[in-house]
Amino acid sequence: GIQVEQSPPDLILQEGANSTLRCNFSDSVNNLQWFHQNPWGQLINLFYIPSGTKQNGRLSATTVATERYSLLYISSSQTTDSGVYFCAVGHNTDKLIFGTGTRLQVFP
């Protein structure tokens, strides 16, 4: 099956800093989503991005499907950005395989 690796596993930032999270996947996909899991466990949809680039406020994402990776950019980070960020992928199925996650801590 598809393997999904995320880096870095842990990230500690001061408020206001920018960061880039990476998601590598081992096979072709036609479904890729980024999620933020808050401290209560809720998964919040950030982007549906099987290819191309999207932006939503301080967040943006880019997927280069041919090279099997996706990037999530967080600019001007805030303490409320803390949590775990997951990418999840699928190929010709609604089933999603989750990546290993990046745990982000933003300090004031």
Partner 1 sequence: GAVVSQHPSRVICKSGTSVKIECRSLDFQATTMFWYRQFPKKSLMLMATSNEGSKATYEQGVEKDKFLINHASLTLSTLTVTSAHPEDSSFYICSATAGTGGKTEAFFGQGTRLTVV
Which tokens in the block code for residue 18? Answer: 């920018």
Yes or no: say if 37 and 27 are a contact pair by the CB < 8 Å rule.
no
In the complex with partner 1, the residue whose CB is nearer, 63 or 101, is 101
Sort strands 83-90 and 102-107 into parallel, antiparallel or unpaired: antiparallel
Cα 41 to chain center, whole Å? 16
Which tokens in the block code for residue 72? Answer: 């999530």
Site string for partner 1, 19-48 (x = CB under 8 A): ------------x-x-x----xxxx-x--x
End-to-end Cα separation, the chain, in angstroms: 41
Range in contact with partner 1 (rule: CB under 8 A) among 13-21, 59-67, 70-78, 98-106:
98-106
Decide if residue 98 touches partner 1 (CB under 8 A).
yes
Binding to partner 1, residues 65-94 (CB under 8 A): 86, 88, 94
Q: Provide the binding-site residues for partner 1, judged by CB under 8 A.
A: 31, 33, 35, 40-43, 45, 48, 86, 88, 94-101, 103
